[in-house]
Amino acid sequence: CTYGCKTYSSQSGCSDVCTVCYDDNCHNRTAVSVPANASCSSYFSDCPNKCSAWTCNSGYKQSGNSCVCATTCTNSVSSKPANSTYVTSSCTACGVTTTINTDWKCNSGYNKSGNSCVCATTCKDTATVPANATAVKSNCTACGQTYSIITGFTCNSGYTKSGNECVAQCKIGDILYSDASCSSSKVSGKTAIGVVAYINGSTKLAVSLVEKSGPWDYVTSDVSCLTNYQSSSSALTDMNGSSNTQCILNDGNSRNSSAAYYCNTHKPTSSGTGRSGWYLPAAGELYIIAPNFSKINQGLKNAGKTQMGTSSDYWSSTENYTSYAWTVRPGTDSGQPTAASKSTPSGHYIRCFLSF
């Protein structure tokens, strides 16, 4: 058998076929095994057809006698909280594209809070129900769950709303307090400011707890902005005590000694109902409380205050003419007004009114 330039006596030596003459060492060379994803990087110098070393192809790296992919497609996050969804992206490694988890986001209706997803909508009561009241409720849906929440309240029968409380509805003769509540007897811890004297729909009047005697005003000039009521019947049509009081005070003459000034500055409390707004009642307003006179006096008695005199004349803010104003005696059945000299110093009384 001829191998290259040599002649062998044994046929087994002729397994390799050479076309040129090489050193006999080539016959004894053993080629290395090239793994998958690799290429021969060099050959034996005396046997160029036999691989002596290999390297991994681009994108692969050597691991022992193998070539493994140099790029690893793995999930950036391995877990997510409840009510969330994975954020994914494509990753290509060694020609193979896979989907990996890169983050997570909260589902619709939820907000991220640290490592959790919490409901974006909060269903909770928006009002507190006080005593003597009934809750007003409505449905609230949050994250697929429907809840019944308290959104307000209505006062029970016999009670009326006062801020965030339900207080007993005022009745004629009740004591009126600075928190706008009423009671038939004095309540400890509350500030009494007056007694309810008249109620008709939304019109509610209270009388002050105190009174004093004195003139309408020592200044007897005509108050130009007041209407002069010439008859007692016409005087009873005047229901404008509040505006009359301001008219008198803005007259331009000094009115600091007037009954109107006394009522305008009456402040039985520093805050709440009654801190301001008191006025000298008009003749018609004094007249309409006459049927309630006994109830008013009982309320004043319950409050421990001075009662109105049965035969006392009370100044109104209704003018008769230049030096005269109308007085009313609500303690009598008739309660008809009488014109009196504005400067009368005694025998006439001032009791202030409040619209509440």
Q: Is the pLDDT of residue 2 over 90?
A: no
For the residues 185-197, what does the mean pLDDT come to?
96
The predicted model scores a pTM of: 0.61
What are all long-range contacts of 195-203, with beta carbons under 8 Å and residues at least 24 apart? 195/296, 195/299, 195/300, 195/303, 195/305, 196/170, 196/171, 196/172, 196/296, 196/299, 197/172, 197/289, 197/292, 197/296, 197/353, 198/172, 198/285, 198/288, 198/289, 198/292, 199/170, 199/171, 199/172, 203/355
CB atoms closer than 10 angstroms to residue 112: 14
Q: How many CA atoms lie within 13 A of 5 on its CB side?
A: 7
Question: Of 21 and 278, which is predicted with more confidence?
Answer: 278
Read off the DSSP letter of residue 16.
Answer: S
Q: Is the pLDDT of residue 19 over 60?
A: no
Residue type, 168: A
- Under the banding of pLDDT at 50, 70 and 90, the label for residue 6 is low
pLDDT in tens, 217-230: 998 899 999 999 99
- Please enumerate in sequence order all residues whose Cβ is within 8 A of that of 123, keeping only pairs 6 or more positions apart, or say none: 140, 141, 142, 145, 147, 149
Report the mean per-residue pLDDT for the chain. 91
Q: Is the pLDDT of residue 256 over 50?
A: yes
Burial call 199-224: b when 16+ CB within 10 Å, e when fewer: beeeebbbbbbebeebbbbebeeebe
Question: Of 25 and 22, which is predicted with more confidence?
Answer: 25
- Please enumerate in sequence order all residues whose Cβ is within 8 A of that of 338, keeping only pairs 6 or more positions apart, or say none: 232, 313, 326, 327, 328, 329
CA-to-CA distance for 101 and 103, rounded, in angstroms? 6
The torsion of the CA quartet 195, 197, 201, 203, rounded to 10 degrees, works out to -80
pLDDT in tens, 39-73: 999 999 888 889 999 999 999 999 999 999 999 99
Q: Is the pLDDT of residue 3 over 70?
A: no
Question: Of 8 and 331, which is predicted with more confidence?
Answer: 331
High-pLDDT (> 90) share of the chain, %: 78
Q: Is the pLDDT of residue 17 over 70?
A: no
Per DSSP, the three-state class of 287 is helix
Q: Is the pLDDT of residue 8 over 50?
A: no
Asked if 354 contacts 277 with a C-beta cutoff of 8 angstroms, the reply is yes
Asked if 39 contacts 54 with a C-beta cutoff of 8 angstroms, the reply is yes
For the residues 327-338, what does the mean pLDDT come to?
90
For the residues 292-307, what does the mean pLDDT come to?
97
The torsion of the CA quartet 13, 19, 20, 24, rounded to 10 degrees, works out to -10
Asked if 105 contacts 85 with a C-beta cutoff of 8 angstroms, the reply is yes
pLDDT in tens, 129-146: 999 999 999 999 999 899
pLDDT in tens, 95-129: 899 999 999 999 999 999 999 999 999 999 999 99
Q: Is the pLDDT of residue 21 over 50?
A: no
